[in-house]
Amino acid sequence: MVSTQPILSATGLTMEFRGFVAVKDVTLSVNEGTIHALIGPNGAGKTTVFNLLTKFLTPTRGQISFRGNDITGLKPAEVARLGLVRSFQISAVFPHLTVLDNVRVALQRPKNLATQFWLPFSSLSVLDDRALELIDAVNLSAYAHLTASELSYGRKRALEIATTLALDPAMLLLDEPMAGMGHEDIGRIADLIRRVAKNRTVLMVEHNLNVVADLCDRVTVLARGEILSDGSYATVSADPRVREAYMGTEHE
Partner 1 sequence: MAVGTQYLAEQQPKLSTTSLVLGAIAIAALIAAPFFFYPVFLMSILCFALFACAFNLLIGYVGLLSFGHAAFFGGAAYYTAHAVKVWGLEPLTGILFGAAGAAAMGLIIGFIAIRRQGIYFAMITLALSQMFAFICLQVPFTHGEDGIQGVPRGHLLGIIDLNQPLSMYYVTLAIFLFGVFAVWRIVNSPFGNILKAIRENERRAVSLGYRVDRYKLGAFVMSAALAGLAGGTKAIVFQFATLTDVQWQMSGEVILMTLLGGIGTMIGPIVGAGLVIALQNYLASSQFPVTVLIGIIFVICVLLFRRGIVGEILELMKRKPKGNV
Q: Rounded CA gap, 68 and 71, in Å?
A: 9
Cα 188–36–15 angle (5° rounding)? Answer: 120
28 to 57: interface string for partner 1, x by CB under 8 A:
--------------------------x-x-
Q: Rounded CA gap, 148 and 73, in Å?
A: 34
Q: Rounded CA gap, 228 and 215, in Å?
A: 21
**Helix, coil or strand: residue 86:** strand
148 vs 227, beta carbon nearer partner 1? 148
- CB hemisphere CA count around 72 (13 angstroms): 15
Please report whether residue 77 would count as binding partner 1 according to CB under 8 A.
Answer: yes
- Segment contacting partner 1 (CB under 8 A): 25-33, 99-107, 222-230, 240-248? 99-107
Tell me, rounded to whole angstroms, the distance of Cα 151 from its chain centroid.
21
160 to 199: interface string for partner 1, x by CB under 8 A:
---xx--x--------------------------------
Please report whether residue 2 would count as binding partner 1 according to CB under 8 A.
Answer: no
130 to 159: interface string for partner 1, x by CB under 8 A:
------------xxxxxx--xxx--x----
Please report whether residue 96 would count as binding partner 1 according to CB under 8 A.
Answer: yes
Please report whether residue 80 would count as binding partner 1 according to CB under 8 A.
Answer: yes
- Segment contacting partner 1 (CB under 8 A): 3-11, 88-96, 205-213, 220-228? 88-96
Give the nearest distance from C-beta 50 to partner 1 in angstroms: 11
Please report whether residue 71 would count as binding partner 1 according to CB under 8 A.
Answer: no
Cβ proximity of 205 and 175 under 8 Å:
yes
Dihedral sign, Cα of residue 126, residue 127, residue 130, residue 134: negative
DSSP state for residue 98 in the 8-state scheme: B
14 vs 108, beta carbon nearer partner 1? 108
Long-range contacts of 78-83 (CB under 8 A, 24+ apart): 79/54, 79/55, 80/54, 80/167, 80/169, 83/167, 83/168, 83/169, 83/170, 83/171
* Residues listed for the chain: 252
Please report whether residue 92 would count as binding partner 1 according to CB under 8 A.
Answer: yes
Q: From the list 69, 123, 210, 235, which residue makes contact with partner 1 (rule: CB under 8 A)?
A: 123
96 vs 198, beta carbon nearer partner 1? 96
Number of residues that bind partner 1 (CB under 8 A): 50
Q: Which residues bind partner 1 (CB under 8 A)?
A: 54, 56, 75-78, 80-81, 85-88, 92-98, 101, 104-106, 108-109, 113-124, 142-147, 150-152, 155, 163-164, 167
